[in-house]
């Protein structure tokens, strides 16, 4: 009887392995169909993008200042119904290829509470004429992101105010933003237009896709096609009127581009340009390309690279804040059990993981 039972166990184990492999092979086929590209012809037919759409960039001899805006946020303390976050925003300034300074416009704590968040936003949105700030559905895990974006727009405003006509201002991200902050961004774009500066947004990642029934990643596939149709040169192409998802008609009538800033770079990026820059885009691209040839980040604007490095919240900073907060809570009379109880996740109990506060 025991022998039969053991044979049954072995048979079930073998069957499970076979089913697992069969399932993984099926999933692998699905993945391959979504991330692979069979050829340039298929891409061009599906997207409507052709060889003539790849416009060569002529790097310029830019003498103005470059302002690169970025931000960072991290969770310091999380108790399911709310969380405490550290948020930082600011910008790095370059003169040609020489770093001048990095300005921190915000570096503080933000309490993400879906039932009590408006006052923290309105303290800053009133300066843009937005007195009431509400979300139809306040998502706790997005509140800190929204607040960081608001602080980035404030940093962007500060950069515009500090800049001079003809300067280049770079924003980490896109201009396709969620509705409550859209009016604020439009005011920033108008200020940049009035100042006579070139304001461009560059995204390190993008969800733009192509491929009809199969959603295929647009940026890396366009980069691959560009290396074939426009080899050995930096280039850009405009996505207006192309067959991609989501549709790219957005914000103030501006345009979305895909661009590769250096001929030897392995990466292309999404770039958003406001409507006032469309007739000037070739010059702006050339100025940007001349600032994207650093060995540290070949093909990516070095000012944005520096802004990311200078403004990111490091792991040791996060840990220091947590320890300091725990010390203050201890001084207020809360012991470790008082703190652990509201932070308990029963997954930790089931998995027998150490129930630590940090």
The pLDDT tens digits of the residues spanning 139-173 come to 666 888 899 999 999 999 999 999 999 999 999 99
Question: Which residues lie below 8 Å from residue 316, measured CB to CB, with a gap of 6+?
Answer: none
Mean pLDDT of the chain: 86
- Is there a single domain that holds both residue 270 and residue 326? no
Q: Kindly state whether residue 138 falls inside one of the protein's structural domains.
A: yes
> In this structure, are 133 and 201 located in the same domain?
yes
Q: Average of pLDDT values for 255-266?
A: 95
The CATH number given to whatever domain includes residue 238 is 3.30.420
User: Do 278 and 302 reside in the same domain of the chain?
Assistant: yes
Asked if residue 229 belongs to a domain, the reply is: yes
The total domain count for the chain is 2
Whether 255 has a pLDDT exceeding 90, the answer reads yes
* Residue 142: inside a domain: yes
DSSP for 151-163 reads: HHHHHHHHHHHH-
Q: Does the pLDDT of residue 249 top 90, yes or no?
A: no
Q: Are residues 247 and 266 in the same domain?
A: yes
Of 54-58, 209-213, 340-344, which range is least confident? 340-344
306 and 339 co-located in one domain: no
- Under DSSP, the state recorded for 249 is -
| Buried/exposed code over 128-159 (b: 16+ C-beta within 10 A; e: otherwise) | bebeebebeebebeebbbbbbbbbbbbbbbbb
- Both 287 and 209 in a single domain? yes
Q: What is the pTM of this model?
A: 0.88
Are 277 and 332 in the same domain? no
Q: Name the residue with higher pLDDT: 348 or 203.
A: 203
Residue 159, CB-side half-sphere exposure with 13 Å CA sphere = 36
Beta bridge partners of 218: none
Could you tell me the two tokens for 134?
A: 């509400």
Instruction: Report the C-alpha gap between 126 and 212 in whole angstroms.
Output: 43
329 and 305 fall within a common domain:
no
| Whether 205 and 322 share a structural domain | no
Q: Which of 91, 94, 40, 60 is nearest to 225 (CA)?
A: 40
The per-residue pLDDT for 45 is 93
Residue 202 lies in a domain: yes
Question: Quick check: is 27 in a domain?
Answer: no
Residues 234 and 326 in one domain: no
Strand, coil or helix: what is 78? strand
| Span 42-52, average pLDDT | 94
User: Would you say residue 10 has pLDDT above 60?
Assistant: no
Choice among 20-29, 111-120, 310-319 with the minimum mean pLDDT: 20-29
200 and 331 in a common domain: no
**Tokens matching residue 158:** 């500060």
Is there a single domain that holds both residue 344 and residue 325?
yes
Query: Using CA atoms, how far apart are residues 48 and 222, in angstroms rounded to an integer?
Result: 12
The tokens of 212 are what?
């009809």
Residue 331 belongs to what domain range? Answer: 315-350
Count CB atoms within 10 A of the CB of residue 175.
Answer: 22
Return the pLDDT at 191: 95
In-domain check, residue 47: no
Angle of helix 179-195 relative to helix 140-162, nearest 10 degrees, comes to: 10
């Amino acid at each position: 009887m025991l022998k039969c039972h053991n044979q049954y166990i072995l048979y079930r184990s073998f069957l499970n392995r076979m089913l697992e492999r069969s399932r993984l092979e099926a999933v692998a086929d699905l993945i391959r169909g979504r991330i692979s590209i069979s050829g340039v012809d298929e891409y061009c037919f599906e997207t409507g993008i052709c060889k003539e759409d790849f416009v060569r960039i002529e790097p310029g001899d830019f003498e103005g200042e470059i302002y690169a805006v970025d931000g960072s946020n991290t969770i310091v303390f999380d108790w399911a119904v709310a969380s405490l976050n550290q948020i930082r925003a600011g910008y790095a300034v370059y003169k040609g290829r020489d770093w001048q300074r990095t300005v921190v416009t915000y570096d503080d704590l933000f309490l993400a509470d879906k039932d009590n968040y408006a006052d923290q936003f309105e303290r800053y949105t009133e300066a843009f004429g937005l007195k009431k700030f509400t979300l139809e559905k306040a998502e706790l895990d997005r509140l800190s992101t929204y607040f960081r974006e608001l602080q980035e727009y404030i940093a962007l405003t500060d950069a515009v105010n500090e800049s001079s006509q003809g300067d280049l201002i770079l924003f980490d991200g896109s201009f396709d933003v969620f509705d409550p902050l859209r009016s604020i961004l439009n005011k920033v774009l108008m200020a940049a237009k009035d100042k006579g500066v070139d304001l461009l947004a560059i995204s390190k990642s993008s969800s733009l896709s192509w491929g009809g029934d199969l959603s295929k990643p647009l940026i890396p596939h366009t980069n691959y096609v560009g290396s074939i149709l426009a080899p050995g040169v930096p280039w850009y192409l405009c996505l207006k009127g192309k067959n991609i998802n989501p549709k790219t008609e957005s914000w103030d009538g501006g345009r979305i581009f895909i661009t590769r800033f250096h001929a030897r770079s392995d990466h292309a990026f999404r770039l958003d340009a406001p409507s006032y820059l469309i007739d000037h885009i070739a010059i702006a691209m050339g100025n940007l390309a001349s600032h994207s040839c650093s060995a540290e980040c070949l093909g990516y604007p070095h000012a944005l690279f520096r802004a990311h490095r200078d403004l990111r919240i490091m792991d040791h900073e996060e840990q220091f804040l947590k320890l300091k907060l725990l010390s203050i809570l201890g001084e207020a009379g809360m012991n470790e059990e008082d703190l652990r109880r509201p932070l308990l996740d029963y997954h930790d109990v089931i998995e027998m993981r150490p129930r630590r506060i940090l």
